[in-house]
Chains A and B, each alone.
Chain A
Amino acid sequence: MTNLTAGALSPKEAIDRVAATLRRRRSAEFRFRFWGQAAIGLALGFLVLLFGAIFSNGIPGLFQHYVVLDVELNKQRLDPQGDMSVNSLYAGDAEALIREGLLAALDNPTGRSNTRAARGIISSGSAQRLVDFVYANPDLMGQTVPVKFALDDDIDSFLRGFIDRNTPEADRRINDTVIQFVDKLMASERVSYEVSDYLFFGSASRDAEMAGIRGAFIGSILTLFICVLISFPLGVATAVYLEEIAPKNRFTEIIEININNLAAVPSVVFGIMGLAVFIVLFGMPRSIPLVGGIVLALMTLPTIIISSRAAIRSVPPSIRDAALGVGASKMQTIFHHVIPLAMPGMLTGTIIGMAQALGETAPLLMIGMVAFIVDVPGGVMDPGTVLPVQIFMWADFAERMFVQKTSAAIIVLLAFLIVMNASAIWLRKKLERRW
């Protein structure tokens, strides 16, 4: 027999050697922890920077400046046909009445340059606003009432301090007369700074002070609705079929590999496919949420399928055995036990997919959802755009106010995402069962 004690250490030697390695192990552990914490700290720092940048720009973007003017609601001039119809009101001379109210607030300056300067102070959408106001309050007709109008975006930027009154007049976007008028309005306390109704209830506009996200928001909801309607049932059904029913052979293996590859395909490729198939081949209209939803559904399908399959696989086999053991058929086992137990995981995957779809721009550009559309889409067949595309478009505009509106829209998009994720977590907690 071999001598088993050869080369063995005495207990004392062993303790010394262990002590020597102990120090190395401790410092390795310390270094590991330090780098981990440093990485997390860096990530948090960037997150704070990101949110700081968005919120510092975006929070002011949620507000804008308004001016209150006393407008004479002259029945004859506002409503020439006298039937209070929309047509009649639009044919009326709302613009002149507002101008008169504005000039009155400025102590009636005379001269063409003065009136022109005054006209530039308020938003060009003011006539529309007055018509809407009269339409909503017909009893006020004939009286002189205070009405609130948005200030032009240049004036707004000036009031926020983005335009310096000390720069030479020629280099400024607004001239001295305008500044003088604005000062007068400020002094008479007619100007207010409040939550922007245009941002939340307005639609796309080239005028920064009137631009809003309502159209894009509704467009996003419609697009996501189509997206989830198609991708969730299709994704879950595919996952169930591949996991529970399909035979495991070369063919299903190829399908599986392709699904995994599809998850890595750049989203713009799905847009090109949508353009080629749905718009060119099937002749569907451009810019509609229906096509956008279908394209995004195709894009999110792999995500949903992969996470649903993982969820199904994590259902313990003992539950399937139990169901089969009491005589449940394969379909009963799947629908009564496997799917309910896998549902939280499937929902998580779906919400991740939806969140991805909500933030997607590239494929929607390809199918024309980048068009300038003022009307709020009333259905999935109406042309529209979505929040991220709206943000993308606004980011392209030069006006100072669009910078803030872009950040404000990003905040709304983030809030949308947070609400979606929170509801997903809530739903998952509610459905989650332990076994």
Chain B
Amino acid sequence: MTDTTMTTNAAMTETRMEDRILPDKTIGQVHVEHPRMTARAVDVHYGTKKAIDSVTLDIGERQVISFIGPSGCGKSTFLRCLNRMNDTIDICKVSGLIAIDEQDIYDPSIDVVSLRARVGMVFQKPNPFPKSIYDNIAYGPRIHGLANNKVELDQIVEMSLRRAGLWEEVKDRLDQPGTGLSGGQQQRLCIARAVAVSPEVILMDEPCSALDPIATAKVEELIHELRAEYTIVIVTHSMQQAARVSDRTAYFHLGKLVEVGETKQIFTNPVHELTQDYITGRFG
């Protein structure tokens, strides 16, 4: 009996959601004064399916912007366009313009390797290399030739681990495998690995979804500190997290960027009904 009722309720929510009209234009401030990255009318197709529909957005320098929205809304897809990680998917086609410092990143003259050195990435699941902690951090600087000698490399490793707040915990066991760390430490190791190649932008794809609350708190604290030097884009499923760590928040729905604005404004005074419903937990 309860089953039937629940189905009916769900169906009703569905219809209510369908009723909401996706806006033709993104609501709120898509432009900022000092953009580090700009996206203009970006469409992404997976085969014939449209995953992102005409997204225009500026990502401000030394700001944290968070992407929120229900599952499958395209926020991760859009994030992966920013350092062309979608290139690895054969059927994925990106159109529109994405630029970093006014340089089109999909321009044929741009080397994707140098782009990814400038736009680092942290993934949902901690994915350290099955190598030592030291080698995990040193890998990026080594392949990009960032250090001229061992001393410089040691400095980069220490600096990166310090920035990721991991130095004190691992300084005595740098030669031990990175995979032997706890989940939270592994994720901070991955952040340190991204920081080690001195990127301008760090993309984080749900970096805390596999972590416990304490580890999450540490990573959030870290994001707070990293903001002083890096531009950070974070995809998150936790609205509290978005509210805590970001300066701006963008709400995606069914491949469209519905609303974007100051985090405070989005969470206290959302304009669009969909944003409002999502923030208040009506669906998601």
Listed in ascending order, the chain A residues whose CB lies under 8 Å from chain B are: 1, 4, 247-248, 316, 318-329, 332, 336-337, 341, 433-435
Please tell me if B197 contacts chain A, counting CB pairs below 8 Å: yes
From known contacts A321-B127, A322-B129, A434-B179, infer whether A328 and B113 are also in contact, taking CB-CB under 8 Å: yes
Q: How many angstroms from the CA of A364 to the CA of B203 in the assembled complex?
A: 59
Q: How far is the CA of A434 from the CA of B117 in the complex (A)?
A: 27
Q: How far is the CB of B121 from chain A (nearest CB, A)?
A: 4
Partner of A322, one of B83, B114, B190, B196: B190
CA distance A31 to B108 in the complex (A): 66
Check A336 against B85 for contact (C-beta < 8 Å). no
Q: List 11 A-B contacts (CB under 8 A).
A: A4-B1, A247-B90, A316-B127, A319-B129, A322-B127, A322-B128, A324-B85, A324-B116, A325-B194, A341-B130, A434-B130
Provide the residues of chain A in CB contact with B117, threshold 8 Å: 326-327
Q: Which 9 A-B pairs have the closest CB atoms?
A: A326-B140, A318-B127, A327-B117, A433-B130, A325-B121, A327-B116, A435-B130, A322-B127, A4-B1
Contacts of B139 in A (CB 8 A): 323, 326, 328, 336
Closest to A317 in B: B88
Is B267 in the interface zone, CB < 8 Å from A? no
Q: Contacts of A319 on B, CB cut-off 8 Å?
A: 127, 129-130
Asked if B165 is at the interface of the complex by the 8 Å CB criterion, the answer is no
Of A1, A323, A328, A329, which contacts B4 at CB under 8 A?
A1
Interface pair A324/B197, CB less than 8 Å apart: no
Interchain CB contact under 8 A, B197 and A327? yes
Whether A328 pairs with B88 at a CB distance below 8 angstroms is: no
Q: Which of A4, A324, A327 has the most CB of B within 10 A?
A: A327
**A325 surroundings in chain B (CB, below 8 A):** 83, 85, 116, 120-123, 194
Beyond A325-B123, A327-B144, list 14 extra A-B contacts (CB 8 Å).
A1-B1, A316-B127, A318-B125, A319-B130, A321-B85, A321-B88, A321-B121, A322-B127, A322-B190, A326-B194, A327-B115, A327-B143, A328-B139, A435-B179
Q: Interface of B with A (CB < 8 Å)?
A: 1, 4, 83, 85, 88, 90, 113-117, 120-123, 125, 127-130, 139-140, 143-144, 177, 179, 190, 193-194, 196-197
CA distance A326 to B138 in the complex (A): 11
Q: When chains A and B are docked, how far (Å) is the Cα of A323 from the Cα of B128?
A: 9
CA of A4 to CA of B127, assembled, Å:
49
Q: How far is the CA of A429 from the CA of B191 in the complex (A)?
A: 31
Q: Given B88, B114, B144, B196, which contacts A324 in the complex, CB threshold below 8 Å? A: B88
Tell me the bound Cα distance from A245 to B122 in angstroms.
25
Q: How far is the CA of A322 from the CA of B116 in the complex (A)?
A: 11
Name the A residues within 8 Å of B143 (CB-CB): 326-328, 332, 336
Chain B CB within 10 A, most for which of A316, A319, A325:
A325
**Residues of chain A within 8 A of B122, CB atoms compared:** 325
Closest A residue to B126 by beta carbon equals A318
Q: Specify which chain B residues have a CB less than 8 angstroms from the CB of A324 in the assembled complex.
A: 85, 88, 116
Contact A326 B85 (CB under 8 A): no
CA distance A337 to B130 in the complex (A): 9
Task: Give bound CA distance, A433 to B121, whole Å.
Answer: 24
A319 to B193, CA, bound (A): 13
* A334 shortest CB reach to chain B, Å: 13
Cβ distance B242 to chain A, nearest Cβ, rounded Å: 22
> Smallest CB–CB gap between A246 and chain B, Å?
11
CA distance A329 to B84 in the complex (A): 13
- Bound together, the chains give a CA A4 to CA B113 distance in angstroms of 62
Assembled-state Cα–Cα distance A221/B75 (Å):
58
Closest chain-B Cβ to A325's Cβ sits at a distance in Å of: 4
Evaluate whether A327 and B140 lie within 8 angstroms (CB atoms) in the complex, with A1-B1, A318-B127, A435-B130 already known.
Answer: yes
The answer to whether A318 and B197 have CB atoms under 8 Å apart is no
The one of B123, B130, B144 that contacts A321, using a Cβ cutoff of 8 Å: B123
Q: Is the CB of A327 within 8 A of B113?
A: yes
- Chain B residues, CB < 8 A from A329: 113
Q: How far is the CB of B190 from chain A (nearest CB, A)?
A: 7
Q: A296 CA to B1 CA in the complex, in Å?
A: 68
Residues in chain A near residue B90, CB distance under 8 A: 247-248
Report the Cα distance A202→B169, complex, angstroms.
65
Question: In the assembled complex, which residues on chain B have CB atoms less than 8 Å from the CB atom of A433?
Answer: 130, 177, 179
CA distance A247 to B91 in the complex (A): 11
* Cα–Cα, bound, A326→B123 (Å): 11
Task: Give, as a whole number of angstroms, the nearest-CB distance from B228 to chain A.
Answer: 22
Contact A337 B120 (CB under 8 A): no
Complex Cα–Cα for A434 and B88 (A): 25
Q: Are A326's CB and B127's CB within 8 A?
A: no
The smallest beta-carbon distance between B84 and chain A, in angstroms, is: 9
Residues from chain B with Cβ under 8 Å of A247 in the complex: 90
Q: List chain A residues, Cβ under 8 A from B114.
A: 327
Instruction: Compute how far the CA of A322 lies from the CA of B193 in the bound complex, rounded to whole angstroms.
Output: 9
Contacting pair B197 A326 (CB below 8 A):
yes
Are B123's CB and A320's CB within 8 A?
Answer: no
How far, in whole Å, are A103 and B88 apart by their CA atoms in the complex? 86
Q: A327 to B113, alpha carbons, bound, how many Å? A: 5
What residues on A are CB-neighbors of B4 within 8 Å? Answer: 1, 4
Complex Cα–Cα for A38 and B130 (A): 42
For B125, the chain A residues whose CB sits under 8 A away are 318
Query: B129 to chain A: which residues have CB within 8 Å?
Result: 319, 322-323, 337
Q: How far is the CA of A410 from the CA of B128 in the complex (A)?
A: 48
CB pair B123–A318 under 8 Å, yes or no, is yes
Contacts of A321 in B (CB 8 A): 85, 88, 121, 123, 127
A3 to chain B, nearest CB (A): 9
Alpha-carbon separation in the docked complex, A316 to B95 (Å) = 29
Contacts of A320 in B (CB 8 A): 88
> Counting chain A CB atoms within 10 Å of each CB, which of B85, B114, B130, B140 scores highest?
B130
Of all chain A residues, which has the CB nearest B196?
A: A326
Point out the residues of chain A lying under 8 angstroms from B193, CB to CB: 322, 326
Which residues of chain A have C-beta atoms less than 8 A from B88's C-beta?
A: 320-321, 324
Distance of A321 Cα from B120 Cα, bound (Å): 11
Note all chain A residues with C-beta closer than 8 A to B85: 321, 324-325
